[in-house]
Chains A and B, each alone.
Chain A
Amino acid sequence: MLVFVIRRLLVTVPVLLAASLLSFLLIDVTGDPLADLLVQQPPPSEEVIEAERERLYMDRPVYERYWLWLTGIGGNGDIGLLRGEFGPSVRGPAFDVGAEVAARMGVTLRLVAAAVLLALGLAVFTGVVSAMRQYSAVDYTLTFIGFLALAMPTFWLGALIKEAGVWANGQLGATVFYTIGDSAADTRGMGLWERIADAGGHLVLPTLALMLTGYAAWSRYQRTAMLEVLNSDYVRLAHAKGLPRRTVMRRHALRTALIPLTSVAAVTIAEILAGTVLIETVFQWRGLGTLLVEAIRTSDAYVLMGWLMLAGTLVVLANLAADLLYGVLDPRIRYE
């Protein structure tokens, strides 16, 4: 098992490296981190531009910069992914990219975790109900909702949910739904429980919006998988030998029908990660999603690179987790 995990991780290293090189070149070709400075009014002096160019290592050729970004050898100590440094930001020398990413990651991960758990639960439930009542009115309704969810633009639904929250607050004359930010503007003086309750309250509406991405992909998948299992011989046997219906469904059918879902779930987590960019923008969170938007707007090359690497690593880890879950759910699979 441990050997399997290590081998899988080793295989992904070259893939991640190639992805980093490709992203680095693309970002270099498409944007210039100095662009904002060059068009500033009044125009900054030549020395200021030169100093900034040197601080961002833009005075070096791109291959040298990539090596520097990766290893940090020959830099000023603020760059080198392998040393845990993301590199300098266009926002100035005082802006520590690593600390900013760490602070925002907690915010984003709690949104992703809430959305994934809620979507998984709902998708498994509706998928199983759909399959057990195939071709009934319930099944048709749920299938149509699934199609609708698949066609729904996340950002539009997010904006609708947010405005509905604002409207409901207005009607009730009190702030029941939090519609802006990931937590209260001022959390000083709050106890631990108050903070958790505050963050949870801010989580409700964005989670509802983000959940849809996962639900759309998973519910239909779960229905198909469950149908396949329900029509198989061993489920018929379980019924025939007189097991209660609940036991057959839970112990025999559902357990097998969950296996295909794990592999789709890993793929969809990448899409949910992209969804946080939209949802955080709509709800004005200070998370990783809005950090990406800010980095793109200012051509903040190293922040952008750090973000892409982080997203890539999360996707790789999600895939690995899916592979391991396979083993838990399906006893036929052994990791040698």
Chain B
Amino acid sequence: MSERVTDTGDGNGADGATGGTMGGAAPAPRGQLRTIAMRFARHRPAVASLAVLAALAAFAFAGPLLWQWDHTVSSDIPSSAEPSAAHPLGTTSAGNDVLGQLMRGMQQTLKVAFTVTVLATVLGSVWGAVAGYFRGWVDAVMMRLVDVLLIVPLLVVVAAVGGNVRGGTTWYGVALVIAAFSWTPISRVVRGVVLSLREQEFVEAARAAGASHARIILRHLLPNAAGPIIVAATLLIAVAILVEAAMSFLGFGIQAPDISLGLMVQHAKTAAFTRPWLFYPPGLTIVLIALVINFIGDGLRDALDPRQAMVRG
């Protein structure tokens, strides 16, 4: 198996070992994971970004347990107060603590983004792999559907479907709607990879050994496409964050009294120069999260998918 590990020249060989081992425990992952980790570690912005993302997640999920105010209105909170020791990010005119809102908003944003990514990645990968594996009319029909879904801009269709629902939606509903329309680019990537993988010997060997279609797709093809899938999924997180924020900003996403970063911007959209403490924290937080995720995606691309690596800058 080791020669497959080194054979990164034609792209997807990098992960060959995991899928290439027919049954039995794979001895290869040692060198495999180490190589990937080392290549990722060389991309310094990506490593720093990973640390920032971990800190942001800790702030969003552990912060509310330590901080005395949550995102709701309280009569003990002064209205429209500037940042102070009691309220480090100030307060809203209704009487919310902005720090409490920010933590809750980040939490909702991260929950939506990761749910979208998991759902869309699973659906998109399986869809693309099935289409690429069977080819012929199955492929034609499945990829035509992808064309159909790609024809309307993501934000528009998501807003139209999500916003049409009366009485608003929860974060989970928002995540489901975004996931339902954002898996298509991943399916295209996976199909392309699978089209070349299916011609390789290890797939033929699996077929000769009597493996079923499902087993070949799930155990042999998808693990070998892991590199491009992980990269595409990472970039999807950033897309999901921006789309969720835009939806909430338009009023079609998470609804009050709950809060999200997009909704905070919506409430503060004219406050940039009058009450900046309301305007900058949610906006800059969105920028920061999307920025670090894009950097991580870039680092992962260099580590997992050397063929497609962007010229680094």
Chain A residues in the interface with B (C-beta under 8 A): 15-16, 18-19, 22-23, 26-27, 30-32, 35, 130, 134-135, 139-140, 143, 147-148, 150-156, 159-160, 163-164, 166-167, 220, 223-224, 227, 270-271, 273-274, 277-278, 281-282, 292-293, 296-297, 299, 304, 307-308, 311-312, 315-316
User: CA–CA, A18 to B145, complex, Å?
Assistant: 8
Which residues of the other chain, A, contact B238 by a CB distance below 8 angstroms? 150-151
**Further contacts, 4 of them, CB under 8 A, given A16-B151, A22-B149, A315-B151:** A23-B152, A134-B311, A147-B294, A281-B249
Q: Are A274 and B155 in contact (CB under 8 A)?
A: yes
* Between-chain CB contacts (< 8 Å), 25 pairs: A15-B148, A15-B151, A18-B144, A18-B145, A19-B152, A23-B152, A27-B160, A30-B161, A147-B294, A150-B238, A151-B290, A153-B245, A155-B265, A156-B245, A156-B282, A156-B286, A164-B272, A271-B153, A274-B156, A281-B250, A292-B160, A308-B156, A311-B152, A315-B152, A315-B153
Which residues of the other chain, B, contact A30 by a CB distance below 8 angstroms? 161, 164-165
Q: Are B164 and A299 in contact (CB under 8 A)?
A: yes
User: Measured between C-beta atoms, what is the minimum distance from B229 to chain A in Å?
Assistant: 20
B contacts with A: majority SS: helix
Report if B246 contacts A (CB, 8 A).
Answer: yes
Report if B270 contacts A (CB, 8 A).
Answer: yes
Which residues of the other chain, B, contact A297 by a CB distance below 8 angstroms? 163, 251
Q: Which of A153, A167, A307 contacts B242 (CB 8 A)?
A: A153
Chain B residues 228-243 with CB under 8 Å of chain A are: 238, 242
User: Measured between C-beta atoms, what is the minimum distance from B28 to chain A in Å?
Assistant: 32
User: CA–CA, A134 to B313, complex, Å?
Assistant: 8
Q: Which of B145, B148, B287 contacts A153 (CB 8 A)?
A: B287
| Chain B: interface residue total (CB-CB under 8 A) | 48
Q: A151-B238, A296-B252, A315-B153 are in contact. Are A227 and B286 (CB under 8 A)?
A: no
Chain B residues in the interface with A (C-beta under 8 A): 144-145, 147-149, 151-157, 159-161, 163-166, 238, 242, 245-246, 249-252, 262, 265, 269-273, 279, 282-283, 286-291, 294-295, 310-311, 313
Q: A30-B164, A278-B246, A296-B159 are in contact. Are A18 and B148 (CB under 8 A)?
A: yes
Nearest opposing residue in chain B for A304, CB measure: B160
Nearest opposing residue in chain A for B162, CB measure: A30
User: CA–CA, A274 to B245, complex, Å?
Assistant: 13
Q: Are B269 and A282 in contact (CB under 8 A)?
A: yes
User: Measured between C-beta atoms, what is the minimum distance from A70 to chain B in Å?
Assistant: 16
Which of B160, B242, B287 is the most central at the interface, judged by chain A CB atoms within 10 Å of its CB?
A: B160
Nearest opposing residue in chain A for B165, CB measure: A30
Q: A148-B287, A159-B265, A315-B153 are in contact. Are A308 and B160 (CB under 8 A)?
A: yes
User: Measured between C-beta atoms, what is the minimum distance from A178 to chain B in Å?
Assistant: 16
Which residues of the other chain, B, contact A166 by a CB distance below 8 angstroms? 273
User: CA–CA, A16 to B289, complex, Å?
Assistant: 36
Q: Are A143 and B148 in contact (CB under 8 A)?
A: no
Which of B151, B286, B294, B295 is the most central at the interface, judged by chain A CB atoms within 10 Å of its CB?
A: B151
User: CA–CA, A311 to B156, complex, Å?
Assistant: 9
Which residues of the other chain, B, contact A159 by a CB distance below 8 angstroms? 265, 269-270, 272, 279
Q: Which 4 A-B pairs have the closest CB atoms?
A: A31-B164, A143-B313, A151-B290, A163-B272
Q: Are A224 and B163 in contact (CB under 8 A)?
A: no
User: CA–CA, A297 to B270, complex, Å?
Assistant: 22
